[in-house]
Amino acid sequence: MTQERIWLSSPHMGGEELPFIEEAFQANWISPVGPHITAFEKELAAYNGIDHVAALSSGTAAIHLALIILGVRTGDEVICQTFTFSGSCNPIAYTGAIPVFVDSEADTWNMDPILLEHAITDRIKKTGKKPKAIIIVHLYGMPSKIADIQSVAKKFEIPIIEDAAEALGSTFEGQKLGTFGDFGIYSFNGNKIITTSGGGALASKSESSIQKARFLATQARDPAPYYQHSQIGYNYRLSNISAAIGRGQMRVLDDRVKSRRANFEFYKDALGSFGPVKFLEEPKGMKSNRWLTTITFESADNQSINPESIRQALERDNIESRPLWKPMHLQPVFSECPAYISGVAQSLFEKGLCLPSGSNLTDSQRTRVAEALRRQVMS
C-alpha cells in the first residue's frame, strides 16, 4: 500500500480567505479592480516597511514592469544571478535585452559581489556601455550579501531589482527583503510562502514608479473618456478575488515563516549529524524564511552521493523532493548569453536537494521524510 503523498510545498490557507472572497462576491467586485486590491497593497507595504506596492498578476510580470520602468530596451544588457528560477530572467528577454549571468558565493548561494564587480567592469570594456540593471535573488529565502552588492551597484550607478519571490518575510539586519533595491518583487504563486492562487507584487520607495507600474499593468490607458493609448500596455493587474485570498494569507504570514523555519530545525536535528548531509546556516545579520529546506551531500572521502538516486528513492516512498535550481547559464535557451562563472551554482545543482517544506507539514510527515532520507544515506 502506498502511503499518503508528501508534497514539496503546497498551498496552506489560513481560514480568513473565504470571508474576504465572500465580501468581494457580495459587492460584485470580481475583476482586476476593487477594494481588496488596494487593501492588499497597503498590507504588503506595511508588513515590509516600504511606502509603495502594486499588486500584479505574477512575480514575473513585476520584474518585467520594473525593467520597463528602468528604461531597459532591445540591445541593452541586464545582469542576473545565474542560480535561480527562469522567472527571474525571462523578463529580460521580453524587453529584447540580453541577460548576463553572474555566479553565486558559497555563504548564501546568492550573487557573488566580487564576481559582480568583475562582470560589470568586463562588460564596459567589451561593449563600451554599462549594464542597465542588476537582478539579485534571495534564493530559497536566504538573503544575499545585499550591502556588498549595493556598494558595487552604487559605484557604477546601476539600479538593483531585488527578486524576493521566495523571500517574503526574510530580513537583512532587521529590514525586510524586497525593500533594499530600486525595486523589489514578490510572488504569490501556489508553491510560495503565501499564495493568492497566482499573483505577484512590485515594491518601491518611489511613488511615481509604482503609479507607472499600475498604469502599464492596466493597458496603459491615457486619461480620456474613450480608450486612448500613447504607449504599449500590459494586462498584469491582480484580480480582486486573488487579492481577497492574499489578505487572508497576510494574516498568517508570520506563522508561515515560523512553520517553515521549524521544518529546517526539525530536519537539521534529525539529519545534521549524518556525516554527508549539510545544511546552509544563516550568516550574521541574516534571517531566512526558509521557504524550502535545502541540503547538500558532501563527504570527506569524496564518496559522492547522487542526489538524483535519493530523489527517486524518496519518490518511491511517495515523497516529493526536487533538485536545486538548474543554473540559467546551463539552460539551452540561455546558452549563448555572457556569463561570469566560478562553478558554485553548478556544484550546488549537482549535489543538492530541496526537501518537503510546506508550512502544513505534520510532525509525522517530517519524520517520514527524515527516516526515508536516513535509510538512503546509510545504505
Q: Which residues bind ligand PLP (CB under 6 A)?
A: 58-60, 84-85, 87-88, 137, 163, 165-166, 187, 189, 200
Tell me the sheet residues that pair with 133: 78
Q: What would the 3-class secondary structure string for 82-109 be?
A: CCCCHHHCHHHHHCCCEEEEECECCCCC
Whole-Å CA distances, 11 to 193, 194, 251, 361:
8, 7, 15, 11
- Least separation in angstroms between residue 72's CB and ligand PLP is 17
DSSP state of 237: B
Q: Among all chains, which residue has been given the C-alpha cell 544563516? A: 282
Residue 345 cell numbers, joined: 551554482
- Least separation in angstroms between residue 17's CB and ligand PLP is 18
Q: Which is nearer to ligand PLP, 100 or 193 (CB)?
A: 193
- Least separation in angstroms between residue 305's CB and ligand PLP is 26
Q: Is there a contact between 180 and 146 (Cβ–Cβ < 8 Å)?
A: yes
Q: How many CA atoms lie within 13 A of 375 on its CB side?
A: 11
Q: Return the SS3 of 277.
A: strand
Query: Which phi and psi angles does 223 have, rounded to 5°?
Result: -70, 95
Q: Which is nearer to ligand PLP, 140 or 215 (CB)?
A: 140
Identity of residue 323: P
Q: Which is nearer to ligand PLP, 187 or 249 (CB)?
A: 187
Q: Which is nearer to ligand PLP, 108 or 365 (CB)?
A: 108
Q: Which is nearer to ligand PLP, 69 or 168 (CB)?
A: 168
Q: Per this entry, what is the length of the chain?
A: 379
Q: Which is nearer to ligand PLP, 43 or 162 (CB)?
A: 162
Whose CB is nearest to ligand PLP?
A: 59
DSSP state of 5: P
Q: In what order do the strands lie in the sheet with 286-287?
A: 175-176, 171-172, 286-287
- Least separation in angstroms between residue 141's CB and ligand PLP is 10
- Least separation in angstroms between residue 241's CB and ligand PLP is 16
Q: Which is nearer to ligand PLP, 88 or 204 (CB)?
A: 88
Tell me the sheet residues that pair with 172: 175, 286
C-alpha–C-alpha distance, residues 114 and 45, integer Å: 32
Q: Which is nearer to ligand PLP, 84 or 95 (CB)?
A: 84
Q: In what order do the strands lie in the sheet with 293-297?
A: 277-279, 293-297, 352-355
- Least separation in angstroms between residue 97's CB and ligand PLP is 17
- Least separation in angstroms between residue 111's CB and ligand PLP is 12
- Least separation in angstroms between residue 86's CB and ligand PLP is 8
